Amino acid sequence: MAIKPEMLLKVGNEPSESAYSDIHVMLYALGVGMGRDPMNPDELPYVYERGLKTLPTLLTVITRPSFGGNLLGDAGVNLVMLVHGEQRLRLEKPIPPKGELLTLTKPLALLDKGKEKGAVYITESEIRLKGSNELLGTLGSTLMFRGDGGFGGPSSGGPEPHELPGRAPDLTVEMPTRADQALLYRLNGDRNPLHSDPEFAKAAGFPRPILHGLCSYGIAAHAVLKAVCDYDHTRMKSFDVRFSRPVFPGETLLVDLWTESRLVSFRARIKERPETTVLNNGRCELFR
C-alpha cells in the first residue's frame, strides 16, 4: 500500500497534553545507564527523588506528538521498516522534575529517496509548560520509511548534518549497555517490538532486537554530562545526532568527544565492532 503524503503533511492546530512525575524522570535515567553504581554521588541525584535532577534528553520521552499515535499507520507507512534517522533537541531552560506539557507538532518535509531507498519524514515539536505557556524546548525528528519510497515527492531538503572536526577526538568515554537495556528502556513508552521481539526483529532485517535509537542518544548525552559537564544538567542547551547503525543491547558505546568552548561535537562507535559508527555528526551546545 502506498503512503498518503497529504495525511503526513497535514498541519494540526491543537497541542497534545502530557504529564510526568518523578517516577518518569528516574525510570528514564535508569534506562540510559544512570545509577549503575548506587554509591556514585554524581549519578544518584538522577535516580533518587531527594534533590532530583533531570536529564536534558528526558524531553524525548515525556512528550507526545500532537498528530496522534496512529498517524503513521493510517497514512500507510510500513511500520516494520521504520527506523529513526536523526534527533534534535533544544532547551530554553532545565526540565522541571514533574509537570504538565503542551506539545504542538508540525511536519517540515516528506522526502522521496526512491523506491529502493525509502522516504524521509521530518517534523518539529514545540513543547510548552501547561499553565504558563512558557516555551520549554523544541524537538526535531527525522524518520526513515525504508519501505515507502517512490511516491513521487521531492527528493532533497532537510537539515544539514553537523561536520565533525578533522582532528583526533579530545577524549573517548566508554558507556556499557546491559543485555536487557532495551527491555528496561521500552518502559519509557516506546513499545515497538523491534526492540523486544526476536521474530519481529528478524522480519525487519536484524539478527536480534536492537536498542532504541533514542536510548543510545540518551546514553551519549549521559557521556557528555559525565565527561564535560561534571554531571550539571543545567549546562546542556541542545543535543543533535544522526543515527547511522543499530546498537545491540549488551554492547559498549565508545563516545568520542571534541570540545571547543561551549560546543561539543561527538560520535559513538561500538567497542565490540570498533569500525562501526552508530551515532554520527553529533552536536551539543552548552549554556556555559
Catalytic residue positions, numbered = 190, 195
How is residue 143 written as a grid cell? 524518520
Strand order in the sheet with 16-20: 16-20, 99-112, 119-129, 135-145, 82-91, 236-243, 273-286, 263-270, 252-260, 171-176
* Angle at alpha carbon of residue 253, lines to 247 and 255, rounded to 5°: 125
Residues near 137 by beta carbon (within 8 Å), at least 6 away in sequence: 59, 89, 90, 91, 92, 93, 95, 127
CA distance 165 to 252: 23
